[in-house]
Structure 1
């Protein structure tokens, strides 16, 4: 036992078993080329960068990171009929769902350490409303998110230009327009199916799809939730988007104001103002419904599901009146017997702390 204990201390871990742990320790400390030390010049440069500029660029980059692979997958799905190879299996809704899901995960991993990884105006507004995010930063974040989607749309048009031009000509020859579901413009932003003439139905679908995603995101942001880790959050949120795409993309969903508005502006530049006026102004649903739906989902979690007491007991926060205030709160909600308060309170690890500072297992 003493020998094992010595090994654990040397490895600075109590989480891994001996054996593979030692191999891991040897590999991660072996450097073929020594790491270059951080210079004072670099530290000075990083310190002088405006914080808000870094956050805005991170938000724009994150949205770009997930929108570009998503709409590129839509492009391959839409254009596959004109493939010079004569193959019509270049894409599917299943592929599109994975493109958005993995793109979102990559965006969070890459940019969230800098800006918090909102990538959605509705999430930015919800964080300002419920979590104290500064309202003065909200316009900067929203503009950056829309700009990131706009740049993704522009870049996609450049990379797929010959194919999109050929599809545009075919659409005009057959339908007289490119603005319809399955047309060239739908590569950039969504349009309802021809049989979706009831906007109330589309609103209902968009609202609950966005609420589903918003609730998953808000759950991942709760530090008291024991069922996720920091490493799992990007993939959990990405998969939330993925399953909604798989289930409802065939019936028209948008899910994000920035993703839709940024690329819809690009569609209007290349395919005309009908990108905004199609189907009696359907775009108001795809652009705006995400905000009330996300606020509904986050409010549902805050008012009905969140348990801040778990947060306090886990050491993330303290009651504003200290331990005595926590004891009073626990007594009021009936968590502990009022007659027991003179002896202290039961903490998160199951020990009772007495006023004299001693503790015993309970």
Structure 2
């Protein structure tokens, strides 16, 4: 293999791209259903597919899986309203939080092995900054993510159109518009409450909600973390989103550029350009803040919490200059932990459960 051909292993069609599914690289050890023999014709067909097409379709499908149940849950109780006591029979924030959480988990399980399971432009950018994800793929991934949310929005509108149209007409008759929090357009994307007129407050809320989720995601990607197993990653990330929905969705949050922009375009198609200019252009907060917030979160983790030596000791990383570079570092700092030195002498991975796997 040429020395300058970094990450050449990614060129194989069955390999997983950098992302959430990094945690799975050493854990494909069983089959739920025994596979039938693969024909040469099938192998040739799969080899002929452009890799970037598979990855883009994986990202678009994953975002679709994540957004569809979430906004469908919002639609189910928005179009049905409440009874005189204010009780919603068809759903609430608890239901919506679980809908988004399960959608994210299913998206990672279904599409993560194809594309790496980013499903968020901010995560794609952070993986390019910190983990070596190819920058040339970033625009393709982001476009695919937005497209997946756009299709999910169109489909929900199509399936709920009679109810959404009736709600839109009622909103216009009563308020003169359907673009407000609780209106028909809010099924697709977020809008501030009437009392939320301070955009600085909205920025602060969106920033730290997104940063919170970003830290959880980056923690799940750390192979040295003993508390997150590969099978728990989808559910952990999904519950992080759900926790923020339960805590802040009533106060207006977005959490994902692709999820918001894709569905906001659908809202503009059916409810007009006010979807982008409502409340003095609140949409710039819901669309863009996710990116700097997630970069802040991952930078916080990388600079203050990451322990790369622990990752190397567990057999999930290596020094860029090999064992010689690692030995020079250990000599320079003058500290060698017993467990790590034993693993060097034996030339074997040394992790907490004694097996060559991520824990």
Aligning the two structures, in what range does the TM-score lie when normalised by the shorter sequence? 0.7 to 0.9
Which residue is 2:178 aligned to?
178
Which residue is 1:14 aligned to?
none
1:58-73 counterparts in 2 under 5 A?
58-73=58-73
Which residue is 1:211 aligned to?
211
Which residue is 2:244 aligned to?
244
TM-score between the two structures when normalised by the length of structure 2: 0.84
Is 1:311–2:311 an aligned residue pair? yes
Two-structure CA RMSD over aligned residues (Å): 2.2
Count of residues paired in the alignment: 315
1:94-243 counterparts in 2 under 5 A?
94-243=94-243
Question: Does the 8 A contact of 1:218 with 1:298 survive in 2?
Answer: yes
Matched residues in 2 for 1:35 and 1:65: separation? Answer: 25
Matched residues in 2 for 1:229 and 1:353: separation? Answer: 27
Deviates more, 1:315-324 or 1:118-127: 315-324
TM-score between the two structures when normalised by the length of structure 1: 0.83
* 1:346 shift after superposition: 4.1
Deviates more, 1:250-259 or 1:316-325: 316-325
Instruction: Classify the secondary structure of the residue corresponding to 1:231.
Output: helix
Pair 351,153 (structure 1): closer, same or farther in 2 beyond 3 Å: closer
Matched residues in 1 for 2:49 and 2:175: separation? Answer: 51
* 1:351 shift after superposition: 6.2
Structure of higher RCO (CA pairs closer than 8 Å, 6+ residues apart) = 2
Which residue is 2:17 aligned to?
none
Is 1:287–2:279 an aligned residue pair? no
Matched residues in 1 for 2:35 and 2:330: separation? Answer: 51
Matched residues in 2 for 1:183 and 1:303: separation? Answer: 43
* 1:29 shift after superposition: 10
Pair 351,263 (structure 1): closer, same or farther in 2 beyond 3 Å: closer
Pair 332,142 (structure 1): closer, same or farther in 2 beyond 3 Å: same
Once the two structures are superposed, what CA deviation does each residue of 1:268-317 show, in whole Å capped at 9, x if it has no partner? 00000000000000000000000000000000011110011012112223
Matched residues in 1 for 2:60 and 2:224: separation? Answer: 29
Matched residues in 2 for 1:193 and 1:352: separation? Answer: 58
Is 1:353–2:342 an aligned residue pair? no
Instruction: Classify the secondary structure of the residue corresponding to 1:153.
Output: helix
Matched residues in 2 for 1:309 and 1:210: separation? Answer: 28
Once the two structures are superposed, what CA deviation does each residue of 1:80-134 show, in whole Å capped at 9, x if it has no partner? 2289xxx941010000000000000000000000000000000000000111100
Pair 174,312 (structure 1): closer, same or farther in 2 beyond 3 Å: same
Matched residues in 2 for 1:250 and 1:318: separation? Answer: 45
Once the two structures are superposed, what CA deviation does each residue of 1:195-217 show, in whole Å capped at 9, x if it has no partner? 00000001000000000000000
* 1:224 shift after superposition: 1.3
Deviates more, 1:148-157 or 1:311-320: 311-320
Pair 282,314 (structure 1): closer, same or farther in 2 beyond 3 Å: same
Matched residues in 2 for 1:229 and 1:283: separation? Answer: 37
Which residue is 1:256 aligned to?
256
1:9-20 counterparts in 2 under 5 A?
none
* 1:73 shift after superposition: 0.3
Pair 125,37 (structure 1): closer, same or farther in 2 beyond 3 Å: same
Pair 199,29 (structure 1): closer, same or farther in 2 beyond 3 Å: closer
Instruction: Classify the secondary structure of the residue corresponding to 1:197.
Output: coil
Once the two structures are superposed, what CA deviation does each residue of 1:127-174 show, in whole Å capped at 9, x if it has no partner? 001111001000000000000000000000100000001101100110
Matched residues in 2 for 1:228 and 1:155: separation? Answer: 34
Question: Does the 8 A contact of 1:82 with 1:167 survive in 2?
Answer: no
